Amino acid sequence: MGYFYLSIAIIMEAVAMTALKSGGFSKLMPTLIMGFAYGISFYFMLLALKTIPMGITYAIWAGVGIILIAVIAFVRYQEVPDLAAVIGMSLIVLGIIIIRLFSTTVAH
């Protein structure tokens, strides 16, 4: 169940970041969406922390969040990452895979 909660936390973090890009703090609705989505994100991350170690939870939350935000930025805002960014994000994904498959501290 921890990874389900973590997935919700990651999705809501991406919603919050997208709202921030859409005019957070300068427009009321994106600001409200951002605050609500971050609140939900942290709540579900708290639930994930009950079964997944903190360092692993944060590494996956941040890493998958980076990839998800990059995809949203590409699709919605036509922000195309350069080769160095793609390589760096690929290494992040590789790191998450290594953690998930080989770490003994991860709740499987």
Six token digits for residue 91 = 């290494």
Q: Residue-wise pLDDT tens for the chain (108 aa)?
A: 999 999 999 999 999 999 999 887 899 999 999 999 999 999 999 999 999 999 889 999 999 999 999 999 999 999 999 999 999 999 999 998 898 888 887 655
pTM of the model: 0.87
| Cβ contacts of 30 within 8 Å, gap of 6 or more | 19, 20, 22, 23, 24
Q: Is 70 exposed, middle or buried (0-12, 13-18, 19+ CB in 10 A)?
A: middle
Structure confidence at residue 21 (pLDDT): 92
Structure confidence at residue 7 (pLDDT): 97
CA separation for the pair 72, 19 (Å, rounded) = 11
CB atoms within 10 A of CB 85: 13
